[in-house]
Amino acid sequence: MAAGTRPVVVIAEVLAASCAEYLRDTCEVVEAAGEPRSRLLSLVSDAEGLVVRSGTRVDRELLEAAPRLRVVGRAGVGVDNIDLDEATRRGILVANAPLANSVSAAEHAFGLMLSQARNIARADATIRAGRWDRAAFRGVELDGKVLGLVGLGRIGALVAHRALAFGMSVLAYDPYITADQARQAGGELRDLDSLLAESDFISLHLPRTPETENLLDAVAFSKVKPGVRIVNASRGGIIDEDALAAAIRSGRVAGAALDVFATEPLVGGPLVDLPQVVLTPHLGASTAEAQDKAGLHVAEAVVAGLMGEPVPAAVNRV
């Protein structure tokens, strides 16, 4: 940062106050949450920093509109809304806040699993509709069941810990960790087919990449243990939603609980009409605690990047 100048940082989405408060010590902050895309493209024209959540596409068009941009901060984990190759090619550092929302996301996944297993959302809806349908909602216990985790990183490990406390046993498919790392997290490694065949519940905790797109497709659902329940609070697009709906309609899959979708916001689609499916609008990180931490952590990373200091949370090298 040149002496005497304060770089402009655009905050493109609604973030906790902790983010702007930290940035204002050293930067000019432009709040752009809720602005239409065309306005955002004009606001970034003199920005050196940009902060986003998952709702802003940081693609070639946006990067071209921001010729002075040096750092993009992602207030959360997933960077699949950011064109990392293009940012790197332009020398723009991208950093996320990988530790800020792990506990919240793990708790949400667990809440989804319980809600699906015990029909909590549907039962609530029937009471509000004036009905008292005790007989309609027989659920299943988690105790004694096998939980298969696809992806055993930060959030997967937190889910494993909670599952063990509920009396479940934990399997994991994660080609990038060792059997020893899985054991330390309380799980046993399996290949994907074995995990599909052995699990009563399957919960996804991996990034969306070309390798993971439609990982759970019609072929995968033909290999699951009949009656399995699927949880996804990681990323949309890893499950083929049409194939999941078909597997639920056929009875092969007992139900699903989903926080993330191939296209967000989710409007209609094959899963919405299925009563066995619990849906939340990408709420995994939506807690006061996670958002406070994400706002602060991302602001620290952006300022460090602008000052030319080390950025431990960088996800690319420039």
Task: Choose among ligand MLT, ligand NAD, none what residue 170 binds, the Cβ cut-off being 5 to 8 Å by kind.
Answer: none
268: which residues sit within 8 A by CB, 6+ positions away?
Answer: none
Residue showing tokens 């697009």: 237
101 binds ligand MLT (CB under 6 A): yes
Nearer CB in complex with ligand NAD: 33/65: 33
Nearer CB in complex with ligand NAD: 19/150: 150
Contacts with ligand MLT in 35-54 (CB under 6 A)? 53-54
Nearer CB in complex with ligand MLT: 69/233: 233
The one catalytic residue in 205, 208, 282, 297 is 282
Contacts with ligand MLT in 239-298 (CB under 6 A)? 284-285
Q: Output the six-digit token pair for 206.
A: 């991996």
DSSP label of 99: T
Cα dihedral value 11, 17, 18, 21, nearest 10 = 80
Nearer CB in complex with ligand NAD: 7/73: 73
Task: Choose among ligand NAD, ligand MLT, none what residue 238 binds, the Cβ cut-off being 5 to 8 Å by kind.
Answer: none
Contact 216, 248 (CB under 8 A): no
Query: Is 235 one of the catalytic residues?
Result: yes
Q: Output the six-digit token pair for 110.
A: 């667990």
| Residues that contact ligand MLT, how many (by CB under 6 A) | 8
Residue 298 Cβ, how far from ligand MLT at the closest point, in Å? Answer: 10
Residue 137 Cβ, how far from ligand NAD at the closest point, in Å? Answer: 26
Residue 140 Cβ, how far from ligand NAD at the closest point, in Å? Answer: 24
Nearer CB in complex with ligand NAD: 76/255: 76
99 binds ligand MLT (CB under 6 A): no
Task: Choose among ligand MLT, ligand NAD, none what residue 53 binds, the Cβ cut-off being 5 to 8 Å by kind.
Answer: ligand MLT
171: which residues sit within 8 A by CB, 6+ positions away?
Answer: 146, 147, 148, 149, 187, 188, 189, 190, 194, 195, 198, 199
How open is the CA angle 279-283-286, to the nearest 5 degrees? 160
The closest of 26, 18, 30, 94 to 297, measured between CA atoms, is: 18
CA distances from 244 to 137, 229, 238, 274, 306 (A): 22, 11, 11, 11, 44
Catalytic residues: 235, 264, 282
Interface ranges with ligand MLT (CB under 6 A): 53-54, 76-78, 101, 284-285
